[in-house]
Amino acid sequence: MINYNNKQRPEKDMIFGIRAVLEAIQAGKEIDKILVRRDMTSELSRELFTALNGLEVPVQKVPIEKLNKLTMKNHQGVIAFISPVTFQHIEDIIPGIYESGKMPFIVVLDGITDVRNFGAIARTCECAGVDAIVVPLKGGAALNGDAVKTSAGALLKIPVCREHNITEALKYLAASGMKLIAATEKASQNYTEASMSEPIAIVMGSEDDGVSAENLRICDHMVRIPLLGTIDSLNVSVAAGVLIYEAVRQRGIIESLIS
């Protein structure tokens, strides 16, 4: 779980107070996550929950002590974290890519919670011409100013699709004619042996758990990066970079730029 403390989330990223958060929602602000006091039952809080119905915004109920650690101002039991990133949906992205004559190139992040890794992957994606990044509504890295800074601004340039269900998003990509390639140490196939010259989605999982078993079953290929040393894994952002640029190589993008 993400540890929301003052060092990670400065007050400039936060809106606190029920009315202020309601106004942010009504104004269409992009909200990364909302923390609410666990036992909150006021009439105004019910108005807040009504406003959240149908919105894809993660809401976490927490003890009041956690809110007080974030700010001692009058938060009224509610703190919202504002995201500088404008979220999109993958169903709105893929048709346009095909219509433009391109082969879609998507990166799916399954359970990557570290902001620095997320930002580094986003930076690589933007540099390599990836069309969009898919992240989960819950269980992913915070999409805040720190993530944007780590990405060198890439998160403001590349579409980020925050999906309620990663499994369903993968099924949609497969139904849209895309090959799903998951990076996992459980694979027997080396990453260079998988064809990446067609429409693809590269799926990366967390360093602790990897891609979930359910999502691995959906993927067309499971690939591994050979390790020659004694450490048993690469940093996930490094591994993502290796796979992403293998796809770039196979697609002949570098050669076409040079020529």
Residues 92 and 159 in one domain: yes
CATH number for the domain harbouring residue 61: 3.30.1330.30
What pTM was computed for the model?
0.84
Residues 246 and 227 in one domain: yes
Residues 158 and 73 in one domain: no
Question: Per-residue confidence of the chain (259 residues) as pLDDT tens digits?
Answer: 333 333 445 555 789 888 999 998 888 888 889 999 988 878 888 888 888 887 888 888 999 899 999 888 889 899 999 888 889 999 999 999 999 999 999 999 999 999 999 999 999 999 999 999 999 998 899 888 889 999 999 999 999 999 999 999 999 999 999 999 999 988 999 999 999 999 999 999 988 889 999 999 999 999 999 999 988 889 999 999 999 999 999 988 544 544 4
Residue-wise DSSP of 177-243: T-EEEEE-TT-SEEGGGS--SSSEEEEEEBTTTBS-HHHHHH-SEEEE----SSS----HHHHHHHH
* The domain boundary residue, chosen from 20, 54, 82: 82
* pLDDT number for residue 72: 84
Q: What domain range includes position 34?
A: 11-82
Number of Cβ within 10 Å of residue 68's Cβ equals 12
Residues 96 and 57 in one domain: no
Residues 75 and 114 in one domain: no
Let me know if residue 43 belongs to a domain.
yes
Let me know if residue 227 belongs to a domain.
yes
Count of the separate structural domains present in the chain: 2
CB-based contact 138:34 (threshold 8 Å): no
Let me know if residue 239 belongs to a domain.
yes
Residues 189 and 240 in one domain: yes
